[in-house]
Chains A and B, each alone.
Chain A
Amino acid sequence: MGLSHCRVRGLLMLRLQKLTKTYKTGDQALKAIDLEVPKGQVLALIGPSGAGKSTMIRCINRLVEPTSGAVMLDDTDLTKLGPGALRRARREMGMIFQEYALVERLTVMENVLSGRLGYVGFWRSFLRRYPQSDVDEAFRLLDRVGLLHMADKRADELSGGQRQRVGICRALIQNPKLLLVDEPTASLDPKTSRQIMRLITELCRERGLAAIINIHDVALAQMFVPRIVGLRFGEIVFDGVPVALTPEKLTEIYGEEDWEATIEAVDDDEDVEAAQ
């Protein structure tokens, strides 16, 4: 359901075909997932802990090896690629992480520039002699997220929100076609969470980027993302626009609970946003 009315006319960016992941323990994290993401579309992946959200986006860039199925990025099946080709394909997919995953003892600038590692040779990266165009782009991105003045600070000196902004810059400097975003706000306070979600969705719009955003905060997803996919026990149980996410649907995704408050809260939030 729901897929057709939110599909943008045009080419597909990503298509998952019968994507399955079975862990060695026998846990079926993903059960033959089929999903299509058009170019430039941002979608939120919601679902309870252990539903397979994180596994799914890690199967796309193969930080986790899928057991079977295909991951088509443009017209390339990523699951068939050898090590070298996989590295080149990973340059096209920027990733943003839950705990920011910045290299703590490197500077902000080194962290941002590490997004270019797939493009520069070892000695250049080892000596930190990046091409001027990369350096300029890093400065531009840091300026865009308001952290230009922090360029030479060590990553562990930054606050959570600032770190996530650096994480965003690192993903974007890859010049990706697709963003894989794993719980970007899980370690942030509510206000910073919104700022980060707004920043991510804005940047995607500016650059025409497609994105899959794992997020457990339903209200936040509804607020910023036009398409929501619900995952439960490794299966897609919902796919549609935010308003279609009724209490019945939420029960289907998360199990029995009183959902009215959650949905009301969203409306309130929007009022607050509008009032500001």
Chain B
Amino acid sequence: MSHRELDDMLGRKWRKPHFVTNPVLRWSLIFGFIAYLIAAFMTIEVDWGRVYEGLDRGWQFILAFTRPDFISRAGDIWGGLLESIVMTVAASVVGILISIPIGLGAARNIAPLPVYMICRGIVAISRALQEIIVAILLVAIFGFGPLAGFLTLSFATIGFLSKLLAEDIESMDKVQAEAIRASGAKWMQWINYGVQPQVMPRLIGLSIYRVDINFRESAILGLVGAGGIGATLNTAFDRYEYDTAAAILILIIGIVMMLEYLSGVIRARVQ
């Protein structure tokens, strides 16, 4: 019986089944998307005259990089950098410390449902609010300066780290943790022996990555008055001091690259 079915199949062409089986639906989705893309591009207006003028200004800015001025505003730059580093370190430490319990609570496989809902809620709020928006709000509350920046970065770190830590815990090897539970361990011991060793490398890797992000963010937050090197950069732009701005950008790029290298080295060592 099955033999006759095989005879029917032999000689027939074979293709991988399509993701969308209905051909009408499939082709209308494809053409619809292309049509939308074309229409979307057509709505973006380009003022070529303005671009021509702007090219010159952009060129000035790029030229400034050939003669960056670290000297005339050295005091401001140094102060801004220090402020950014302080904000980065403080916000990362505080953010990471708060993220760990929230990350544990946001992992469905170890937290009871009510705790899970609350922690996921905190993560969702932190992730929904973009740093700049939070910073504007906090500057309104606490005034200009690094305090607002520090709080913004701490808040953003929580959303980032808790979520990724929770996901790592959710994908951990269940039996390793089960074995610790079977020995009669208390909850804290269970976390310390059964869960922590499994997620530690990723937690360290993510924390270092977050330090990196926090430093870059601290350069942006200054634009809305939340202190740091961003404030110095903003002032430089306002005064059309492109050479000073270039110097600041070079410093930011240098520090970010250094952090990137450092995090690579550390992550390779903790695996």
Is B175 positioned at the interface, with any CB of A under 8 Å from its CB? yes
Supposing A104-B197, A125-B193 touch, asked if A95 and B179 sit within 8 A by C-beta, the answer is: yes
Question: Chain B residues with Cβ under 8 A from A99's Cβ?
Answer: 175
Is B44 positioned at the interface, with any CB of A under 8 Å from its CB? no
Are B183 and A170 in contact, CB atoms less than 8 angstroms apart? Answer: yes
Supposing A87-B184, A105-B197 touch, asked if A125 and B179 sit within 8 A by C-beta, the answer is: no
Is A97 positioned at the interface, with any CB of B under 8 Å from its CB? yes
Give which listed residue, B176, B183, B201, contacts A117 with CB less than 8 A: B183
Residue of A nearest to B181 (CB): A63
Most buried by B among A63, A103, A104, A114: A103
* Chain A: minimal CB distance from B188 (Å): 5
Is B171 positioned at the interface, with any CB of A under 8 Å from its CB? no
Are B185 and A101 in contact, CB atoms less than 8 angstroms apart? Answer: no
Are A61 and B182 in contact, CB atoms less than 8 angstroms apart? Answer: yes
CA distance A125 to B190 in the complex (A): 10
Within 8 A of B (CB), among A89-115: 89-91, 93-95, 97-99, 101-106, 110, 114-115
Q: Chain B: interface secondary structure?
A: helix
Chain B residues with a Cβ closer than 8 Å to the other chain, count: 22
Question: Chain A residues with Cβ under 8 A from B197's Cβ?
Answer: 103-106
Give which listed residue, A91, A106, A110, contacts B184 with CB less than 8 A: A91
Question: Chain B residues with Cβ under 8 A from A170's Cβ?
Answer: 179, 183
Within 8 A of B (CB), among A108-147: 110, 114-119, 122, 125-126
CA distance A99 to B194 in the complex (A): 15
Supposing A104-B197, A174-B183 touch, asked if A125 and B192 sit within 8 A by C-beta, the answer is: yes
Supposing A103-B180, A103-B194, A105-B197 touch, asked if A117 and B175 sit within 8 A by C-beta, the answer is: no
CA distance A170 to B175 in the complex (A): 14
Are B186 and A103 in contact, CB atoms less than 8 angstroms apart? Answer: no
Question: Chain B residues with Cβ under 8 A from A119's Cβ?
Answer: 184
Give which listed residue, A87, A89, A106, contacts B185 with CB less than 8 A: A87
Most buried by B among A91, A99, A101, A106: A101
Question: Chain A residues with Cβ under 8 A from B234's Cβ?
Answer: none
Are B184 and A122 in contact, CB atoms less than 8 angstroms apart? Answer: no
Is B235 positioned at the interface, with any CB of A under 8 Å from its CB? no
Are B193 and A63 in contact, CB atoms less than 8 angstroms apart? Answer: no
**Chain B proximity mask over A154-190: 1 for CB below 8 Å, otherwise 0:** 0000000000000100100010000010000000000
Question: Chain A residues with Cβ under 8 A from B198's Cβ?
Answer: 103-105
CA distance A98 to B189 in the complex (A): 23
Is B200 positioned at the interface, with any CB of A under 8 Å from its CB? yes
Most buried by B among A95, A104, A115, A117: A117
Question: Chain A residues with Cβ under 8 A from B186's Cβ?
Answer: 87, 117, 122
CA distance A98 to B178 in the complex (A): 12
Supposing A103-B193, A125-B192 touch, asked if A90 and B183 sit within 8 A by C-beta, the answer is: yes
CA distance A20 to B16 in the complex (A): 45
Question: Chain A residues with Cβ under 8 A from B182's Cβ?
Answer: 61, 63, 90, 93, 95, 180
Is A88 positioned at the interface, with any CB of B under 8 Å from its CB? yes
Please list the residues of chain A having a beta carbon within 8 angstroms of any beta carbon in chain B. Answer: 61, 63, 87-91, 93-95, 97-99, 101-106, 110, 114-119, 122, 125-126, 167, 170, 174, 180
6 A/B residue pairs, CB under 8 Å, sorted by A: A90-B182, A101-B175, A106-B197, A118-B185, A126-B192, A180-B182
